[in-house]
Structure 1
Amino acid sequence: MADEKKPVKRVVPMEVLVLGVSRTGTSSTREALKILGFRDVYDYDYMTWHWGHAELWSKAIRAKWEGGPPMTRDDWDTLLGRCRAVVDNPANLFGKELSEVYPEAKIVLNVRDNADQWWKSFSATIFKNVSQHYKNPSYLTRYIHHVNPMPEWHKWDDLNMLMVKYGATQGKHYYDEHNERVKKEVPTDRLLVWNVKQGWGPLCKHLERDVPDQDFPHVYETKDYQDKAQYVWRLLYWMAFWHTFWSGVFVAGVGAILYFMTLPVRRVIGI
């Protein structure tokens, strides 16, 4: 299992890119894709638990926002090599790049009924969490980000930070602008614009899969998300605690070694 947390060369084809922004049913879509046979779906959760990917994601971030060297097909294959589909973050933030790198992949754009409905869900979940920890971060929050294995992690919250800074009006504008950009950039024969309320039918037709004999999954409703966010932050607090603890043990150990190594010399000179 430990090896799975490190990037590998592509071993399966890339088949689906789900480019809808967060809180458009992307997590439910991830579970639906798994039911349809697209196992190992790369999304924010997958990235969170695979910190061995941090170096390549940092390169992707620098390439997109900081003028760094561009990601190659080999880079993306190494990063996403185990997965047949990419959903949510990072898919929506790197949608243009991924759709160009994988022209064979089908595109799904998750949407809500309208921007107001999307914002209602977003503000009760991601916005609430990001506001608490990013808008006026405590010293503890800053320390947690400092010890995070991927220092550029906060840039994944490009959309989320925009919401915190500008609130509902700018947030809804981002949602509409993102959807229109995907529709403009992706050829219509590759694209499905889809609301999860439509269920299996349109999705299975687009992906050329039989409709499963089970209900469409619905996960991460508002309370589910809030519970998950609290759980993740507890893990980050423990990570910061153990990082501090073992750093202290290391410093104390080095100090003890130096103390005993220099003891004879200090006795001679009378210190």
Structure 2
Amino acid sequence: MRRRRDKVFGIGFHKTATSSLKRALRQLGYRVTGPNHNHDQDIAWTFLDHARALSTRYDAFQDNPWPLVFREMDDMWPEAKFILTVRDPEGWIASQLRYFGEESTPMRELIYGPGRGSPLGNEAHYIATMQRHEAAVRAHFADRPGKLLVLDIVGGAGWDPLCAFLGVPVPRHTFPHANKAASRGDGWLVRLKRKVR
């Protein structure tokens, strides 16, 4: 019989090693979902209900829409743990530009504002939005030690802090690193595959 696990929500913004976190959690035995690509133009009205429903079906969550609903998930799942993946702002925005280019999506417009679904030309705004999110997350969990792990995977953090936080043994194999230095071309290929699904 499968051991019950508390929910784990990855609530760092996209391109903060969320795919690496997903691989790591899967290797630890979690059922992981995300990112959940919703290109519905009415996403602002639907994403919260979608997230609530999806949260009942998996153990762990990462990438969009989870950074937008961390307060609601904290209320809904009081025993859950939260992981804020972070990285240096300059490296983060460079990764955004390489991966997304000029592509705009309803989800990024929801995060960054109308007309700002592409990072190109919106670099300072993207960084400021990410920094506000990180500050809000830290403030929300400030008086509850053990609920939040801030994890800089790009900066070298790996199994030790993650496994200590989750209370699980450290695997013997190397921590997974996904999408390392993905190029703009790689980003276009991923987006093309997404559109033909």
What TM-score results when the alignment is normalised by the length of structure 1?
A: 0.60
| Structure 2 CA distance for aligned equivalents of residues 164 and 180 of structure 1 | 21
Matches for 1:10-25 after TM superposition, within 5 Å: 14-25=6-17
Indicate whether 1:88 and 2:63 are aligned. Answer: yes
Cα offset, 1:38, TM superposition:
0.7
More divergent stretch after superposition (93-102 vs 226-235)? 226-235
Which residue is 1:62 aligned to? 45
Counterpart code for 1:87? Q
Q: Could you say which structure has the larger radius of gyration?
A: 1
Counterpart code for 1:90? P
Identity of aligned residues (%): 25
- Measured at CA, do residues 36 and 225 of structure 1 come closer, stay the same or move farther in structure 2, by a change above 3 Å? farther
- Measured at CA, do residues 14 and 234 of structure 1 come closer, stay the same or move farther in structure 2, by a change above 3 Å? same
- Measured at CA, do residues 62 and 17 of structure 1 come closer, stay the same or move farther in structure 2, by a change above 3 Å? same
Query: What's the secondary structure of 2:84's corresponding residue?
Result: strand
- Checking the alignment, whether the CA contact within 8 Å between 1:24 and 1:110 is kept in structure 2 is yes
Which residue is 2:148 aligned to? 191
Among 96, 115, 119, the alignment partner of 1:122 is 96
| Structure 2 CA distance for aligned equivalents of residues 108 and 20 of structure 1 | 7
Which residue is 1:159 aligned to? 111
- Checking the alignment, whether the CA contact within 8 Å between 2:24 and 2:175 is kept in structure 1 is yes
Where structure 1 has 5 or more consecutive residues not aligned to the other structure, the ranges are 1-11, 65-69, 135-153, 240-271
Which residue is 2:173 aligned to? 214
- Measured at CA, do residues 95 and 165 of structure 1 come closer, stay the same or move farther in structure 2, by a change above 3 Å? farther
Cα offset, 1:221, TM superposition:
2.3
- Checking the alignment, whether the CA contact within 8 Å between 1:15 and 1:84 is kept in structure 2 is yes
| Structure 2 CA distance for aligned equivalents of residues 176 and 183 of structure 1 | 11
| Structure 1 CA distance for aligned equivalents of residues 180 and 193 of structure 2 | 20
Which residue is 1:223 aligned to? 182
- Checking the alignment, whether the CA contact within 8 Å between 1:23 and 1:118 is kept in structure 2 is yes
Counterpart code for 1:195? D
Cα offset, 1:163, TM superposition:
5.0
- Checking the alignment, whether the CA contact within 8 Å between 2:8 and 2:81 is kept in structure 1 is yes
| Structure 1 CA distance for aligned equivalents of residues 69 and 77 of structure 2 | 12
- Checking the alignment, whether the CA contact within 8 Å between 1:125 and 1:225 is kept in structure 2 is yes
- Checking the alignment, whether the CA contact within 8 Å between 2:106 and 2:117 is kept in structure 1 is no
| Structure 2 CA distance for aligned equivalents of residues 218 and 234 of structure 1 | 21
Where structure 2 has 5 or more consecutive residues not aligned to the other structure, the ranges are none
Task: Compute the RMSD of aligned alpha carbons.
Answer: 2.9
Indicate whether 1:106 and 2:81 are aligned. Answer: yes
Which residue is 1:169 aligned to? 124
Cα offset, 1:35, TM superposition:
0.6
- Checking the alignment, whether the CA contact within 8 Å between 2:7 and 2:60 is kept in structure 1 is yes
Query: What's the secondary structure of 1:107's corresponding residue?
Result: strand
> Alignment length, in residue pairs?
185
What TM-score results when the alignment is normalised by the length of structure 2?
A: 0.79
Counterpart code for 1:213? R
- Checking the alignment, whether the CA contact within 8 Å between 2:83 and 2:151 is kept in structure 1 is yes
Cα offset, 1:99, TM superposition:
1.9
| Structure 2 CA distance for aligned equivalents of residues 231 and 198 of structure 1 | 26
- Measured at CA, do residues 120 and 38 of structure 1 come closer, stay the same or move farther in structure 2, by a change above 3 Å? same
- Checking the alignment, whether the CA contact within 8 Å between 2:97 and 2:119 is kept in structure 1 is no
Query: What's the secondary structure of 1:189's corresponding residue?
Result: coil
